Amino acid sequence: MSYAGKILNIDLTSGKVETKPLNVELAKEFIGGIGLGMRLLFDHSKPGTDPFSPENPMIFVTGPLSGTMAPSAGNGYAVVSKSPLTEIVSESKAHGFFGAELKRAGYDAVILTGKSEKLIYVFIDDDSVQLMDAERLKGKPSHETEEAIKEELGDYYIRVMSIGEAGEKLVRVACALNDEFRAIGRTGMGAVMGSKNLKAVAVRGTNDVNVANLEEFKEFIKMIHERMKGPKTRKYRTLGTPENVLVLNALAALPTRNFTQATFEGAEKVSGEYLNERYIKKIIGCATCGMRCDHIAFVPEGPYKGTTARVEFECLWALGPNCGVDHLDAVIEAISQCNYYGMDGISTGVIVSFAMDCYENGILTKKDTEGLDLRFGNPEALVEMVKRIGSRKGWLGNILAEGTMRAAEKIGKGAVKYANHIKGLELPGYDLRGLKTAALGFAVSFRGGCHLRSGAYSPDVKGSVDRFKLEKGRGKIVMDLEDQYNVIDSLILCKFSRGVYYDGLEDMAKYYTLATGIKMTAEKLILAGERINNIARLFNIREGKGTREYDTLPPKIMTVPIPDEGIAKGSYVNQKEFDVGLDDYYEVRGWTKDGVPTVEKLNKLGLNDFAYIVKGKIEKSKKGAK
C-alpha cells in the first residue's frame, strides 16, 4: 500500500503538531497530489480568507506513487493553497528529490496553518517535527539555505524546499525551490510561505515505501524505463523544451514583445539549438527517473560569465523573446536571478515585458524607472528589473512585485491594455491569437493563465484542428485534456513523461492499482479527473471568482490582430467566437451558461455536500437568462 496513511497538521502560531489518519475513501476519490490537496483545502479554509492571513492553509501533498521507484512520479509533490496572485485556488507541483523524502517521512499530506512570530524553518524528521530558528537565513537564496540547513542538521541527504528574498518580501509571484532548482513555481506559493514567516521545510524520511504488488510493479516500471529511452521523450532528452522556440516561431505563435508580434526575428539566437550548442554543459535527472531532462546552462564568457541555471522553454521565452531580448547570456542571467530571489520565471518575464510595453507607449517614463532605459530588447534593463522586482526596490520594483494585474491597476493610464494575464496569473509562451483551442483552455483554467492545466495548445500545434478558429467541439477537447491533466497532477506524474503511457489512462490505472492495491480503472480515473476539475471550480465560486465573467482573455488577445506577415497575419480571438467556445465548454461540462456546475452534475460526481455553493448562483443565472 503506497499511501502513507497519515496527514500531519502543523500550527505555526502555537507550534502545535498533530497527526491524523488519511481518509482512504477521500484518497480514492481524489487520488492524491492536487486532487486530494484541493479537497483538503475546502475542509481547512473559510470563504474569503486573505491569502496572506495566518488562516490560509498551505497544504503539501504527495501522490500515491511518491517514494516508490516509479520513474518521474516517485519524486513528486504538490502544494495547494489560496493564491495571493489570483485569490482563487492555487496548486503547483515540483519534482526532484523532496517529494519522495516527504513520503518516506510518513505523510500523504502536511497542512501548515498559522504564522510564526519569527522567521523559522520546519524540520520534519519522520515522526518528529521541530520549528527551527531561521533568522540567520534571512535574505539568503534557496541553494544557500539548503546548504546551511543540511550543515546545521548534519545530514546531507536531508531534502529542503525554501524561499528566497522575494518570498520573504511577499512578492506575489514568489516561488519556492527544492533541490536547488526545482520549483513550486506558479501562483505565488513562495509568498504564502513568506506570510507565515516560513523560510523552509526540511525533511528526513527513513521509512520504507511499499507497493502492493512488488513483482508486477517492478515489471511495469521496467517497461516505463525502456519507453523513456524511446521517441516519446526524445525532445526532453535532447534539445529539451527550448526546442519550442523555433517550432512556435515557424507557426507564428511565439509571443514576442509582450504579445505584440507572434514571431521573433532573433529566434535563432535564443533557440534550443543554439542554447544546447553553446551553453548546456550537463543534462541531469530527478530521483527515480530514467529520462533526464534538466538542461543545465553555463555562461562561458562576457559580463555574466560563470552564471548557471536550469533552462526550460517557458522561462527562456518569458525573459527572452517576450521581452524582445536575443542575448542568451542575459536571459540565462535573468533566469538565474529569478532563482536567486525565488520567483516564477514565467510571471516575472511577463511582468517585465508589461513594464517594457508601458515604457514604449509612454505610460511609464524614465523618471518612473529611475533612469533605466526599459525598452524592449535591452538585456541590462531586463536583468536589473528582475532584481528590482525580487527585492521590491524602488517605486516601480515595488509595484511590479504585485504581479501584472495589480500593477496595471496601480499604474493606471490605460496600462491594463498591456497586461497579459488570466485571472491574475501571467500567460505562458503561446500566442493565443493564433492558437484558439489553447485560448479557450487557458481562459477556463482554474488556476488562471496556464499551459499545464490542459495542454490545449497541443491540438493547435499538431494541426489536428483549425487553430485559427474557435468553434463547437473545442469544449470537449479542452475538457478531456483538463480531466487527464488533473489525473496526471494527482498521481503527480511528470508531464514530460506523459507520452510514455501508451495506453493512457489504462496504464495510469494499472500503475495506481499495482502501487496501492486499490482496484482502479480508466473510467474511474477520468471521473476522478472530472471531479477534481469541479472541486476546483467550486472553490473559485465559493471565493466569488469562479463564474463566466472570470473566464476571460487579455485585451491584446481579443483586440490586437497578429501583425506579422505570413500564415497568422490578422488573427485574434473575437468576442463572438470566444462566447461560442465558452458556451460549448460549459455545456459539455454540465455547467450553466454562467459556468456554474449544476446540482445534478455534482451529485453524479459524488460532490453532493457542495451543492450549497452553487444553489444561489444557479437561480441567479436562470433569472439572468430570462
Nearer to other proteins, 157 or 395 (CB): 157
- Within 259-377, residue ranges assigned H as helices are 272-278, 313-319, 328-341, 345-360
Of 210-218, 254-262, 381-389, 568-576, the window that binds other proteins (rule: CB under 8 A) is 210-218
Q: Which three cell numbers stand for residue 212?
A: 502492493
Q: Name residues contacting other proteins, limited to 156-195 (CB under 8 A).
A: 157, 180-181
Of 208-216, 316-324, 502-510, 615-623, the window that binds other proteins (rule: CB under 8 A) is 208-216
Of 66-74, 377-385, 447-455, 567-575, the window that binds other proteins (rule: CB under 8 A) is 66-74
* Spatial separation of the C-alpha atoms in residues 89 and 330, rounded to whole Å: 34
Least distance to other proteins from the beta carbon of 126, Å?
Answer: 11
Of 17-25, 211-219, 349-357, 578-586, the window that binds other proteins (rule: CB under 8 A) is 211-219
* Spatial separation of the C-alpha atoms in residues 57 and 582, rounded to whole Å: 32
Least distance to other proteins from the beta carbon of 154, Å?
Answer: 15
Nearer to other proteins, 355 or 514 (CB): 514
Nearer to other proteins, 175 or 614 (CB): 175
* Spatial separation of the C-alpha atoms in residues 97 and 169, rounded to whole Å: 27
Distance from first CA to last CA of the chain, Å, rounded? 53
Sole binder of other proteins in the list 33, 51, 64, 74 (CB under 8 A): 74
Of 13-21, 220-228, 368-376, 574-582, the window that binds other proteins (rule: CB under 8 A) is 220-228
Least distance to other proteins from the beta carbon of 8, Å?
Answer: 19
Would residue 197 be called left, alpha or beta, if left means φ above 0 and alpha means ψ between -120 and 50 degrees? left
Q: Per rule CB under 8 A, is residue 1 in the interface with other proteins?
A: no
What is each CA distance from 317 to 311, 477, 493, 613, in whole angstroms?
A: 10, 26, 24, 39
Least distance to other proteins from the beta carbon of 157, Å?
Answer: 8
Nearer to other proteins, 193 or 280 (CB): 280
Would residue 302 be called left, alpha or beta, if left means φ above 0 and alpha means ψ between -120 and 50 degrees? left
Sole binder of other proteins in the list 10, 69, 78, 405 (CB under 8 A): 69
Full DSSP string of 72-93: TTTT-EEEEEE-TTTSSEEEEE
Q: Which three cell numbers stand for residue 149?
A: 540547513
Least distance to other proteins from the beta carbon of 206, Å?
Answer: 5
Least distance to other proteins from the beta carbon of 99, Å?
Answer: 13
Q: In the 3-class helix/strand/coil scheme, how is 388-446 assigned residue by residue?
A: HHHHCCHHHHHHHCCCHHHHHHHHCCCHHHHCCEECCEECCCCCHHHCHHHHHHHHHCC
CB contact at 8 A, 481 and 487: no
CB contact at 8 A, 618 and 598: yes
Least distance to other proteins from the beta carbon of 73, Å?
Answer: 12
Of 68-76, 438-446, 455-463, 543-551, the window that binds other proteins (rule: CB under 8 A) is 68-76
Q: In what order do the strands lie in the sheet with 308-310?
A: 280-284, 294-298, 308-310
Nearer to other proteins, 12 or 69 (CB): 69
* Spatial separation of the C-alpha atoms in residues 453 and 442, rounded to whole Å: 8
Of 8-16, 61-69, 130-138, 337-345, the window that binds other proteins (rule: CB under 8 A) is 61-69
How many positions of this chain bind other proteins (CB under 8 A)?
39
Helix (H) or strand (E) holding 151: helix 142-153
Cell numbers 496595471 label which residue?
408
* Spatial separation of the C-alpha atoms in residues 256 and 460, rounded to whole Å: 19
Q: Hey, is 60 helix, strand or coil? A: strand
Least distance to other proteins from the beta carbon of 214, Å?
Answer: 6
Least distance to other proteins from the beta carbon of 589, Å?
Answer: 38
Q: Hey, is 385 helix, strand or coil? A: helix
Nearer to other proteins, 210 or 464 (CB): 210
Nearer to other proteins, 115 or 225 (CB): 225
* Spatial separation of the C-alpha atoms in residues 6 and 9, rounded to whole Å: 10
Of 64-72, 184-192, 466-474, 557-565, the window that binds other proteins (rule: CB under 8 A) is 64-72
Sole binder of other proteins in the list 38, 122, 170, 209 (CB under 8 A): 209
Q: Hey, is 284 helix, strand or coil? A: strand
Q: Per rule CB under 8 A, is residue 535 in the interface with other proteins?
A: no
Least distance to other proteins from the beta carbon of 449, Å?
Answer: 29
Q: Per rule CB under 8 A, is residue 225 in the interface with other proteins?
A: yes
* Spatial separation of the C-alpha atoms in residues 446 and 424, rounded to whole Å: 11
Q: Per rule CB under 8 A, is residue 609 in the interface with other proteins?
A: no
CB contact at 8 A, 289 and 347: no
CB contact at 8 A, 434 and 468: yes
Q: Name residues contacting other proteins, limited to 3-22 (CB under 8 A).
A: none
Q: Per rule CB under 8 A, is residue 141 in the interface with other proteins?
A: no
Q: Site mask, other proteins, residues 270-309, x = CB under 8 A?
A: -----------xxxxxxxxxxxx-x-x-x---------x-
Q: Per rule CB under 8 A, is residue 565 in the interface with other proteins?
A: no
* Spatial separation of the C-alpha atoms in residues 151 and 144, rounded to whole Å: 11
Helix (H) or strand (E) holding 162: strand 159-162
Nearer to other proteins, 72 or 260 (CB): 72
CB contact at 8 A, 562 and 571: yes
Tell me how many degrees the CA angle 429-550-407 measures, rounded to the nearest 5.
60
CB contact at 8 A, 473 and 213: no
Q: Name residues contacting other proteins, limited to 76-105 (CB under 8 A).
A: 97, 104
Nearer to other proteins, 229 or 366 (CB): 229
Nearer to other proteins, 281 or 305 (CB): 281
Of 3-11, 63-71, 127-135, 589-597, the window that binds other proteins (rule: CB under 8 A) is 63-71
Sole binder of other proteins in the list 229, 472, 519, 622 (CB under 8 A): 229
Q: Give contact residues for other proteins (rule: CB under 8 A).
A: 67-69, 71, 74, 97, 104, 157, 180-181, 206-211, 214, 218, 222, 225, 228-229, 281-292, 294, 296, 298, 308, 310
